[in-house]
Amino acid sequence: MMRNLPNIFTHPLKVLRQTPWALSSALPPRIDPSLSIEEENSPYYEPAYFYPARIGEVLNDRYQIATKLGHGSRSTVWLARDLHQWRWSNERYVALKINSNNTHARKVAGSIELEVLRHITRAKRQHEGWQFVRKLLDSFSVQGISGSHVCLVSEPLRESLAKYCQRWQGGVMPPEIFKIILQEILQAIDYLHTECHIIHTDLKPDNIMIRLEDRGLLSQDALDEFENPLPQKHCNDGRIIYLSRKGYGRLKDIIGLIEVIDFDLAVQGDIPQDGCIQAEVYRAPEVILDKGYTYSADIWSLGVMLWDFLEGRTLFEAVDPRIIEDYDGETHLAYITSLLGPAPKDFVGQGKRTSMFYTAAGILKREDLVPSSFNFESTLSKFDGEEKRMFINFVKRMIKWRPEERSTAKELLQDPWLHNDYPQI
């Protein structure tokens, strides 16, 4: 008898919550099924292992997918309505990351990211850097064709710092603005390193996001998709591949608040670590040689990244896979040698891959690859005079052969270059 009672009696509060939108009656344009788009272009994409999410679908009896925000190499990200709001409340939107499950390793990695985010979210909130890292609002699993998918719920963000830079003339952020953002990044890294004991291992411009200045943009995005859906690709097996909405248009206000995101490759920092990490162009020399790494690998990546934001190009363009066809570790080490001088012999003598690049005497095998005019001064065009000198001194604290000689995030926060535009008290 009980099972026939109306839902109002079995779930009395549910009738007071917001209800799912009906499916849109608007007909989206169709994309040629023979074209590969979005996540299909990922080297890790296999249809059976990516969850076939659909706009309008309600997951975990709570989150209704409203539009697509983007995708990673092993995930898709969606804007979703949180239906656990009172009917009289404003709409609440969340970002929903649905991980793929294409190998046992990635299943483990999805679980690791969940655990890392839980740890980051509940660690010391009083630390100033806590507000500048991604926090977890909720998590659950959803069943797909080939098993369950880990789903992570977070606050929606506006865009990556890489895209944010493009809003400035020449794709270069004014130093006086970037110095404030860089302090936020350093606070975030200090929080991860000292409070969470986490090495990010994949710091790059796409993994630092700018917060939304106006949450009303989320409702606008959802309504746009409902009334004027973007073109869709309908596959023969019934899957739909959606296009991601490309940002929220012009900035209404410059708030410049960031969050460091993507912890699916993060590792514990208080135990020995080795292996291949980091995007190639931001890869530290100890990682190239596979001699183990620690927190300072993140500091190297950050130092190299500064050229992206302040010069509009990567520091090691000669090995950037976005510019050349294939990454080459030998060329990378040659350019690092030109920048820093020959590597210390005791440093190169401990790597599992050292023999690929160095002789038994610790000499680079291909010294002919070392450019003659590649140095800190020659790579900087946006600075001059005292500002240039101070900036070089700053980055030299991060870009060093020996990991133990690199400054910590906490130490870098005190560097004069970060504060030289402010009045002295």
Overall average pLDDT of the 249-256 stretch: 81
**pLDDT-above-90 percentage for the chain:** 74
Q: What are the strands, taking DSSP E only, across 100-161?
A: 138-144, 147-154, 159-160
Confidence class of residue 423 from pLDDT cuts 50, 70 and 90? very low
The Cα 116–Cα 295 span in angstroms is 16
Statement: residue 225 has pLDDT above 80 = yes
- For residue 67, the SS3 value is strand
Overall average pLDDT of the 33-56 stretch: 93
- Tell me the CB-side half-sphere exposure of residue 109, using CA atoms within 13 A: 17
Q: What is the DSSP string of 224-277?
A: HHHHSPPPEEE-TTS-EEEPPP----S-SS----EEE---TT-EESSS-B-S--
Confidence class of residue 110 from pLDDT cuts 50, 70 and 90? low
Provide the pLDDT for residue 103: 61
Distances (CA, A) of 285 to 274, 291, 351: 12, 9, 10
Q: Is 202 a catalytic residue?
A: yes
Q: What are the strands, taking DSSP E only, across 27-157?
A: 58-59, 63-72, 75-82, 93-99, 138-144, 147-154
User: Which helix (DSSP H) or strand (DSSP E) does residue 218 occupy?
Assistant: helix 216-227
The Cα 168–Cα 421 span in angstroms is 20
Largest CA distance in the chain: 85
Burial of 322 (C-beta count, 10 Å sphere; 0-12/13-18/19+): exposed
Beta-bridge partners for 322: none
The Cα 75–Cα 71 span in angstroms is 6
Do 59 and 65 touch, CB atoms closer than 8 A? yes
Beta-bridge partners for 150: 141
Hey, what domains does the chain have and what are their CATH numbers? Answer: 34-156 (3.30.200.20), 158-225+267-420 (1.10.510.10)
Q: What is the pLDDT of residues 287-313, one digit of tens each?
A: 999 999 999 999 999 999 999 999 999
Q: What is the pLDDT of residues 270-281, one digit of tens each?
A: 999 999 999 999
Beta-bridge partners for 260: 133, 208
Statement: residue 2 has pLDDT above 70 = no
Long-range (24+ apart) CB contacts under 8 A made by 213-219 are 213/158, 213/251, 213/252, 213/253, 213/254, 213/255, 214/252, 214/253, 215/93, 217/158, 217/248, 217/249, 218/79, 218/91, 218/93, 218/156, 219/91, 219/93
| Residue 133 DSSP label | B
Statement: residue 342 has pLDDT above 70 = yes
Confidence class of residue 244 from pLDDT cuts 50, 70 and 90? very high
Q: Under the phi-then-psi rule, with left for phi > 0, alpha for psi from -120 to 50, and beta for the rest, what region is 125? A: alpha
The Cα 205–Cα 319 span in angstroms is 17
Statement: residue 421 has pLDDT above 90 = no
* Look-up of token digits 């998709």: 225
Tokens of 28: 């989206």
Provide the pLDDT for residue 20: 87
CB within 8 Å of 117: residues ≥ 6 apart: 134, 135, 136, 139, 152, 263
Statement: residue 1 has pLDDT above 50 = no
- Name which residue leads in pLDDT, 7 or 405: 405
299 — phi, psi (to 5°)? -65, -40
- For residue 62, the SS3 value is coil
Q: What is the pLDDT of residues 115-172, one digit of tens each?
A: 999 999 888 889 999 999 999 999 999 999 888 999 999 999 999 999 999 888 888 8
Q: What is the pLDDT of residues 59-72, one digit of tens each?
A: 999 999 999 999 98
The amino acid present at 49, given as its one-letter code, is Y
Write down the mean pLDDT value for the chain. 90
Provide the pLDDT for residue 87: 75
- Three state DSSP letters for 33-56: CCCCCHHHHCCCCCHHHCCCCCCC
User: Choosing from 202, 262, 264, 308, which is the catalytic residue?
Assistant: 202
- Name which residue leads in pLDDT, 3 or 351: 351
Do 65 and 80 touch, CB atoms closer than 8 A? yes
Q: For residue 102, which of 78, 73, 68 has the smallest C-alpha distance?
A: 73
Statement: residue 44 has pLDDT above 90 = no
Overall average pLDDT of the 47-63 stretch: 95
Confidence class of residue 10 from pLDDT cuts 50, 70 and 90? low
Q: What is the DSSP string of 301-357?
A: HHHHHHHHHHTSS-TTGGG-TTTSSS--HHHHHHHHHHHH-SPPHHHHTT-TTHHHH
The model's pTM is: 0.90
Rg (CA), the chain: 24
